[in-house]
Homo-oligomer: A and B are copies of this chain.
């Protein structure tokens, strides 16, 4: 495909940037499953990334069709036609391969790519997220995968697993909701003096959270102006959150809290918000809670702690992060009943998907972590 050439053309304006990066050479990357929504977003980000060069773009069901067919915004950006998936070709031509297919496909594609010699595979699907094979079977009964790889895969939340990413061969990117929940909950590690045994999570998502598959419930006529409950008993991102909370020591009195989650579709295309609610025993003031957030995220560029003052949109809102890799978080205490409230908002396609995959890729390659991810939010949209 013409991806490489075209990309060079597109990047002529950024040529200086590349030259200016000093000794760091650009890496060649491939995107498998590029006709989906996360795939399209990845192409957008890669076309603007001075450190990565698009070399390979495949989409099994659209092979031979122009990559702009589902990505009208990328018109004239230099993309060619989708290729059919070929593990050997991808592995040979690319330094890094991103897999943005459904998990049923990714479960097989990841080992095929590694067997064909790929050095680094970054899987955006849930195929390799759950280490425990029973848990995996419970939540993804139709997803066959290589269990050994699942145990090696690094869970790609850089704020949590930065060190481990450096040596990764397979990175299993977190789900969009899981990213927001984990970044909201992580500072709880620093809170002492209270006990809480359960956290209720309420998640709200835009329509891109459901992927590109056609469904009646996804038609504009049905999907606009809704607050549509789905997965009320529990969303499939719950087990990966439990796994990560357990591994990273978010616990009250030594045991991880019960975690339950219910989700809603709201009238957004892009964006996601989570609220975490927990009733506690003991004493906790809001200032103490917030300090834990500031401490945890002091050096994290992509996590912004909101304090609810000085702006017309003073709290985490997906509207204020559109197109960017930021995760906005805030924390409150409702003293009347002993309840803490944690809120996080992200762009589900960037920090909740393709942007975070680039961030993890940068860490794994030893690139500056923010490279290709400097875009400020487009606001208001």
Query: Which residues on A are within 8 Å of B, measured CB to CB?
Result: 13-22, 37, 40, 44, 47-48, 50, 65-66, 68-77, 197-198, 200, 202, 204, 207-208, 212, 214-230, 232-234, 238, 258-260, 262, 264, 266-271, 273, 275, 277-279, 304, 306, 310-324, 328, 330, 332-339, 341, 343, 345, 368, 370-371, 374-381
* A313 contact set on B, CB distance < 8 A: 72, 217, 222, 226, 228
Q: Which 4 A-B pairs have the closest CB atoms?
A: A16-B20, A20-B20, A73-B379, A73-B377
Indicate whether A200 sits within 8 Å of B279 (C-beta atoms), given known contacts A207-B224, A338-B258, A376-B47: yes
Q: How far is the CA of A112 from the CA of B151 in the complex (A)?
A: 66
A373→B229 CA distance, assembly (Å)? 26
Residue of B225, B310, B311, B345 near A269 (CB, 8 A) is: B225
**Contact A277:B260 (CB < 8 A) given known A40-B379, A48-B374:** yes
Find the B residue at minimum CB distance from A230: B315
A8 to chain B, nearest CB (A): 14
Q: Which of B22, B258, B269 contacts A380 (CB 8 A)?
A: B269
Rounded to whole Å, the gap between the CB of A35 and the closest CB of chain B is 11
* A273 / chain B contacts, CB cutoff of 8 Å: 227, 229, 264
* A226 pairs with B318, CB closer than 8 A: yes
Chain B residues near A322: list those with CB within 8 A. Answer: 73, 378, 381
Question: A376, B73: Cβ atoms under 8 Å?
Answer: yes
Chain B contacts for A226, CB-based, 8 A: 313, 317-319
Contact of A266 among B267, B314, B332, B341 (CB under 8 A): B267
Beta-carbon nearest neighbor of A209 in chain B: B221
Q: Are A268 and B227 in contact (CB under 8 A)?
A: yes
A381/B225 in contact, CB under 8 A: yes
